[in-house]
Amino acid sequence: MGWWLRGGALLALCATVAVLLCAPSGPHFRLVIDASFGQAAIQADGPALAPLIVLTEAAQQSGAVCLDGSPAAYYFQPGTGAGAHNWIIHFEGGGWCTSLEDCVLRAGDSLGSSHGWPRTRHLTGHLSRDPAVNPDLHTWNAAYLPYCDGASFAGNVSQPQSSGGQSVFFRGAAILDAVLADLMHRGLHTAQRVLVTGCSAGGLAAYLHCDYVAARVGGGAVTKCMPDAGFFMDAPDVWGQRRMEGLFRAAVEMHNVLGNVNEACVAALPARDAWKCFYAPYSASFVQAPLFIVNPLFDTWQIANLVLGGRAAPEWDGCRYSLAGCTREQGAVLRAFADQLAARALSTLAAASGDGAFLFSCFLHCPNLDNDDWWQQLTIGGTALREAAADWVLDRGGDHFHVDKTSDYERGTNPSCGISV
Ligand SMILES: *[C@@H]1O[C@H](CO)[C@@H](O)[C@H](O)[C@H]1NC(C)=O
């Protein structure tokens, strides 16, 4: 029997007799840890695979656990040479769980449990160790945070919740804290540059936690944030419904995220609107750290879930992944959405604050940064994503705003999205 089955049984027991068995120890998270699933050794000169570091102590002491109660963990590859004092912290994505039942289901797979995560990970794109793929950032310390809390590393509920005899934990904020604390021991406290990234729900995490990470690292470092495909819009779908909005509101409430999103955003909005700070367009306008927004304009996740409201809508089937199969009206709807996304993203940025953007007219979602192909090949006006990103990160060059218009190309989409390797 695997660790999490035994862990699950213990959790169920805790849920039943919480007062007797589990409460007196102080932390709410007394877990049985399988010794064979222990701390990974780090070697600076080891193979180009990042080992998984399992935070067993933080799991017990601060409840840094995944939905299923398994310990938080992350992949880490130390920096070398010129990059020894520079850090990338990357959040994995994977949607959200927005109801208890949904989260219980998720607790059974790799987006809700660290059990079964591979012991090592090959880092790609902006995290790659290969100078040919990643000429400017390949020597940086790289932390890859797999996603297992269901709410973009923002949840904070102290007690496990249960549904159908199964317990789930909403501990995303504790996971982030535990990873940051562990990174501090590995040298993050002496960082010169820190880059916070992530894709999709992880891109949203980069918006939400950007200033928090900057504050934790401290003023001795320049902390910048580069979220990828995390600019989820708060627009209605083509039928005028706001299904995503309902899901986001439910997630905000259930995971209790509002203490762990952009603080200035929550302070600025009236209390009844504070949940909107879980949306990138709201949080982004309050981010103090320099922000570089990377987003496909025809974001296929947003087309499916936002523009089309998660509906099957067979009349849209030819138009979800390319403008070629759209009717005139459908094409106009998608172009308008893409233009609206670009305008909204740009409205949150200012060149004077050191911001920038790479908004490309492609039917894609994620990942674009941590993917060897897209990192090298996506190009706007002759500048590749990896070049635009590194120029901004390293304060090289002048204009850091790289933005396609959906009218720029004959077919509406950027030719570099079509190049396959
Ligand atoms: C979560 O909420 C508790 C209680 O309000 C608070 O003490 C704690 O600092 C919060 N954050 C984390 C990461 O646990």
pLDDT value at residue 419: 55
Give the residue with greater pLDDT, 11 vs 234. 234
Q: What is the pLDDT of residues 62-71, one digit of tens each?
A: 999 999 999 9
The 3-class secondary structure across the chain, one letter per residue, is: CCHHHHHHHHHHHHHHCHHHHHCCCCCCCCCCCCCCCCCCCCCCCCCCCEEEEECHHHHHHHCCECCCCCECEEEEECCCHHHCCEEEEEECCCCCCCCHHHHHHHCCCCCCCCCCCCCEECCCHHHCCCCCCCCCCCCCEEEEECCCCCCCCCCCCCCCEEECCEEECCCHHHHHHHHHHHHHHCCHHHCCEEEEEEECHHHHHHHHHHHHHHHHHCCCCEEEEEEECCCCCCCCCCCCCCHHHHHHHHHHHHHCCHHHCCHHHHHHCCHHHHHHHHCHHHHHCCCCCCEEEEEEEEEHHHHHHHHCCCCCCHHHHHHCCCHHHCCHHHHHHHHHHHHHHHHHHHHCCCHHHCCEEEEEEEEECCCCCCCHHHHHHCEECCEEHHHHHHHHHCCCCCCCEEECCCCCCCCCCCHHHHCCC
d(CA 124, CA 121): 9
Closest CA to 289 of 270, 268, 263, 267: 263
pLDDT-based confidence at 48, cuts 50/70/90? confident
For residue 202, the CA-to-ligand 1 centroid distance in Å is 21
Q: Say whether 273 is catalytic.
A: no
Over residues 41-50, the mean pLDDT reads 56
pLDDT given at position 368: 97
Report the C-alpha gap between 171 and 69 in whole angstroms. Answer: 9
Does 401 score more than 70 pLDDT? yes
Mean of pLDDT values over 79-98? 97
- Mean pLDDT throughout 34-55? 59
- pTM here is 0.89
Average pLDDT, the chain: 89
**Each residue of 240-255: pLDDT tens digit?**
999 999 999 999 999 9
pLDDT at 49 over 80: yes
Contact yes or no for 293/203 (Cβ under 8 A):
no
Position 398 scores a pLDDT of 82
Most confident of 36-45, 145-154, 401-410: 145-154
Q: For residue 18, is pLDDT > 50?
A: no
- Position 53, amino acid: I
Q: Among all chains, which residue has been given the structure tokens 């600076």?
A: 44
Quote the radius of gyration of the chain (alpha carbons, Å): 21
Q: Which of 154, 152, 156, 126 is nearest to 141 (CA)?
A: 126
- For the Cβ of 156 lying below 6 angstroms from any atom of ligand 1, the answer is yes
Asked if 369 contacts 230 with a C-beta cutoff of 8 angstroms, the reply is: no
Task: Look at 4-18, 36-50, 189-203, 276-290 and tell me which has the smallest mean pLDDT.
Answer: 4-18
Residue whose CA is closest, atom 10 of ligand 1? Answer: 156
| Domains of the chain by start residue, with CATH | 3-418 (3.40.50)
Ligand 1 pocket check: which of 152, 156, 159 to mutate, most ligand atoms within 8 Å of Cβ? 156
CB of 168 sitting under 6 A from ligand 1: no
User: What is the distance between the alpha carbons of residues 202 and 206, in angstroms, rounded to a whole number?
Assistant: 6
Q: Is the pLDDT of residue 36 over 90?
A: no
Do 155 and 149 meet the contact criterion of CB atoms below 8 Å apart?
yes
Percent of the chain with pLDDT over 70: 88
As a whole number, mean pLDDT of residues 283-307 equals 97
Average pLDDT over residues 391-418: 92
- Active-site residue among 70, 114, 128, 200? 200
The pLDDT, as a whole number, for residue 411 is: 83
- Give the residue carrying structure tokens 């089309």: 308
200 in active site: yes
Q: Identify the residue whose C-alpha is closest to ligand 1 atom 8.
A: 156
Ligand 1 atom at minimal distance to the Cα of residue 62: 14
Over residues 185-221, the pLDDT tens digits come to 999 999 999 999 999 999 999 999 999 999 999 999 9
Answer yes or no: 299 catalytic.
yes
Distance in Å, CA 150 to ligand 1 centroid: 17
Confidence of residue 12 (pLDDT cuts 50, 70, 90): very low
What was the pLDDT predicted at 43? Answer: 41
Q: How many CB atoms lie within 10 A of CB 19?
A: 7
Q: What is the pLDDT of residue 60?
A: 96
Distance CA 247, CA 278 (A): 11
- CB of residue 173 inside a 6 A radius of ligand 1: yes
341 CB-side CA count, 13 A: 36
**pLDDT value at position 25?**
34
State the amino acid at position 120 in one-letter form: T
Atom number in ligand 1 closest to CA 173: 13
What pLDDT is attached to residue 39? 39
Comparing 24-33, 353-362, 367-376, 409-418, the range with the smallest average pLDDT is 24-33
In angstroms, the CA 345 to CA 337 distance is: 12
- For range 146-156, the mean pLDDT: 98
